[in-house]
Structure formats: C-alpha cells, structure tokens
Structure 1
C-alpha cells in the first residue's frame, strides 16, 4: 500500500525489493536455524570440526533479514507521482 506525502512522491511500500529479499532470506534463515537446532547429528558436527554450520548460517541470515527490514523502514523508497496530463481543449462539435 502506497502512502501519500506532500512533496509529490509516495512510498513504494510492499513493492520495495528490499522487503521481498528480506522475506526470502528470513524464511530460509528460519528453516536453517531450526535444522541446526534440531536435526544436526554428531557426524555432521564432526565433519565441520565441531561447528554447527546450519545454526550459524541461519542466525546470519536472520540478522541479514533484520538489517534489510530496518533499512527499508528507515530509508523508504520514494516513488514520484506522475504529472497529470494536461487536458486538450475540446473542439466544438458541428
């Protein structure tokens, strides 16, 4: 939903690409974080030298998501309003 402002511009709102990227990264980050907390086996931890890669990658993605949402909220995109077209004078009908 675009909101009006007095300077002839409006906010991009839900069509801001930063919010779409944040949504995708947030979903992936949440899934990977849950996988890191629940289904990581000792064998997988041994392969990664004891580091729970899924957990840390998921947390990183969630932080990335938070930063993108903050960026979109603090610095919204301004879409210029189109100039109203000048109406042509109507010709008298005969």
Structure 2
C-alpha cells in the first residue's frame, strides 16, 4: 500500500461522513419546524381580538408555534447529539460473490 492510498482513505471517510450529515432528514425536518414555529408563533403574538374570540380566548397560534419550535429544536438536538455516520462502502469481493450467486440462481431456473 502506498502513502497516497493511506492519506486518501481518511479523506474519503471524512467526505462520506460529511455528506451523510448534510443530507440527514432530521436536519431538514427540524429546520422546517423551527422556521414554521417562529412564523406561527409571531402570528399568535400579534393576533387581533377577532382571532382570540374565534379561539375562545386562547392564543392557539402562539401555543402551536411554540410547540412546533420545541419539536424542531428537539430534532436538531437529536441530530447534533447522534450524528449520522456514512454507510460502509461495498466490498468488491462481496459484490463479486453476490453477482455470481445471482448468475448461478438464474442458470438453475
């Protein structure tokens, strides 16, 4: 094994790990809930008397916005505390064996 191969393996691992974290669905869901929670919460803060009368005196938009904000922050905290790891690359030997097994199954039929 050459020095170039040894250097490139950790870099490749870091790149795959960064890509796995970037596309983690918890980040997308958490971010959307945070944004929508802030928007709905602000609407709830500035609700007029007609909206309060409609909701029987409860600032429902404020409470829903706060709940969405908390849920979004929990998703982001979960993603931060337990980051996604990149899956292991398939091994060339394993791939070759699985192709041979499939070809063998096809010839039996």
Common topology (TM > 0.5) = yes
Tell me the matched-pair count. 80
The 4+ residue runs of structure 1 with deviation greater than 2 A are: 83-86
- Find the residue that maps to 1:80 and give its secondary structure: coil
Tell me which protein shows more helix as a share of its residues: 2
- Find the residue that maps to 2:79 and give its secondary structure: helix
Could you tell me which runs of 5 or more consecutive residues in structure 1 were left unpaired when the two chains were aligned. 87-94
C-alpha separation between the residues in 1 aligned to 2:37 and 2:27? Answer: 15
TM-score, normalised by the number of residues in structure 2: 0.64
Matches within 5 A, 1:8-23: 10=17, 12-23=20-31
Could you tell me which runs of 5 or more consecutive residues in structure 2 were left unpaired when the two chains were aligned. 1-11, 94-109
TM-score, normalised by the number of residues in structure 1: 0.73
Tell me which protein shows more strand as a share of its residues: 1
Contact 1:35 1:55 in 2 (8 A): yes
Answer yes or no: is 1:43 the counterpart of 2:50.
yes
Larger radius of gyration: 2
- In structure 2, the CA distance between the partners of 1:19 and 1:85, relative to structure 1 (3 Å rule), is same
| RMSD after superposition | 2.2
